[in-house]
Amino acid sequence: MKHLLAIEGLSREQVERILDRTESFAEVGRRDIKKVPTLRGRTIVNLFYEASTRTSSSFELAAKRLSADLISIKSAGSAVDKGESLKDTIATLSAYDPAAIVIRSPQAGAAGLVAGWTDASVINAGDGMHEHPSQALLDVFTLRRRLGSLEGIKIWIVGDVTHSRVARSCLLAFGLMGAEVTLCGPPTLIPRGIAEATGVTVAYDFDGLGEADVVYALRMQNERMSESFVPSLREYAACYQIDSRRLGPRQLLMHPGPVNRGVELAPEVIDSPQSLITAQVESGLVVRMAILYELLTGTDRAKPERGPAPAEPPRIGQPA
């Protein structure tokens, strides 16, 4: 495996290998000295064209824990502000001979393009509304640790599915691992045709929510909306907010963060014992160590491929 651009196209075996490796790094994380020499002498570039707290900090810490040299660039304050293109930025950074480039971009398909412009391994840290594969892997790891397996587990993904790269990666990853996925939200925020395209179930209300083992709430992605998809956040919250009346005592709660408190989640469930939100953040560090390990030292790593960049990623349906 040379790049991690998407969950789509990964096999269950590849996912399980990364998760098994993650267990080893979780063990390292319990030691007094949490650093290993695995990537000593290798360089990792973190290139973030969009805001991030969790993904950027955990990839940074993962690179440091693996003893790599790290360059962290945020678009604000870089030569991007002077008009430098993504392609020229990659050419510039590639001069340092990085082993990996971690990129977040508001453009769907950006990570795939970068993979065609550099010899480095490329990790998609979120590209527009397309995918966020490392988030899905850390979520699968979190659930596997808690439940042992995702086989037959019922997971409801609730909220703004249309604009969510997390939803797209998670529904694919959860399905790959044997979970039964239901997408729930207002019709305007569920892509038309997604059930037929992916095999998930779609619900527009909470009638069946009680059957879920896991409720995975999504943030309203206001920054990706060019029009209004719900009458108001107040009405959205009245219909779709997860609160202590709607979350049953045996159900687990997940959210990729950042949370809009009082919109998709009520404060009492965020801080409840059922919430896995902090565990998700903890998993992020060790899963990203395992991803870097897999791509930079993995046994089935392909030879560098600088073939043509993939086409624009397919959109699964349009908002209904």
Nearer to ligand CP, 139 or 294 (CB): 139
Is residue 164 within the footprint of ligand CP (CB under 6 A)? no
Q: Which of 121, 135, 164, 283 binds ligand CP (CB under 6 A)?
A: 135
Count H helices, E strands: the chain?
A: 10, 9
* Residue in 253, 296, 292 with CA at minimum distance from that of residue 274: 253
Query: Quick check: 278 binds ligand CP (CB under 6 A)?
Result: no
Secondary structure of residue 15 in the 3-state scheme? helix
Stretch that binds ligand CP, among 15-23, 84-92, 149-157, 255-263 (CB under 6 A): 255-263
Q: Which of 53, 85, 201, 318 binds ligand CP (CB under 6 A)?
A: 53
User: What is the nearest approach in angstroms of ligand CP to the Cβ of residue 50?
Assistant: 8
- What minimum distance in Å lies between the beta carbon of 16 and ligand CP? 22
Examine residue 55 and tell whether it contacts ligand CP (CB under 6 A): yes
User: Interface with ligand CP by CB under 6 A: which range of 70-78, 112-120, 167-175, 250-258?
Assistant: 250-258
Q: Which is nearer to ligand CP, 59 or 236 (CB)?
A: 59
Its sign, for the CA torsion 259, 260, 264, 268, is: positive
Q: Which of residues 11-50 bind ligand CP (CB under 6 A)?
A: none
Q: How many CA atoms lie within 13 A of 270 on its CB side?
A: 15
When the beta carbons of 178 and 258 are compared against ligand CP, the nearer one is: 258
* DSSP 3-state of 123: strand
Q: Which stretches of 202-261 are DSSP H helices? A: 233-240
Stretch that binds ligand CP, among 105-113, 155-163, 256-264, 299-307 (CB under 6 A): 256-264
54 touches ligand CP (CB under 6 A)? yes
CA distances from 142 to 4, 159, 252, 255 (A): 19, 21, 11, 12
Q: Report in angstroms how near the CB of residue 129 gets to ligand CP at its nearest.
A: 13
The residue assigned the tokens 């993650």 is 22
Binding region for ligand CP (CB under 6 A) out of 36-44, 176-184, 236-244, 251-259: 251-259
Per rule CB under 6 A, count of chain residues that contact ligand CP: 9
Cβ closest to ligand CP, residue 126 vs residue 186? 126
Beta bridge partners of 177: none
CB of 281 to ligand CP, least distance (A): 9
**214, 156 in Cβ contact below 8 A?**
yes
**Using CA atoms, how far apart are residues 103 and 71, in angstroms rounded to an integer?**
12
Query: Considering only residues 256, 286, 287, 296, which one is a binding residue for ligand CP as defined by CB under 6 A?
Result: 256
Could you list the beta-strand ranges (E) of 11-164.
43-48, 69-74, 100-105, 121-127, 154-158
Judged by CB under 6 A, which of 24, 52, 72, 260 binds ligand CP? Answer: 52
CA distances from 183 to 19, 108, 156, 208, 320 (A): 25, 21, 6, 11, 13
Distance (Å) of CA 153 to CA 27, 149, 181, 211, 287? 26, 8, 8, 10, 21
User: To the nearest 10°, the Cα dihedral for 173, 137, 207, 195?
Assistant: -30
262 near ligand CP, judged by CB under 6 A: no
Interface of this chain with ligand CP, residues 93 to 132, rule: CB under 6 A = 126
Query: Which residue lies nearer to ligand CP by CB, 46 or 135?
Result: 135
The residue (of 191 and 256) whose beta carbon lies closer to ligand CP is: 256
Name the site residues for ligand CP (rule: CB under 6 A): 52-55, 126, 135, 256-258
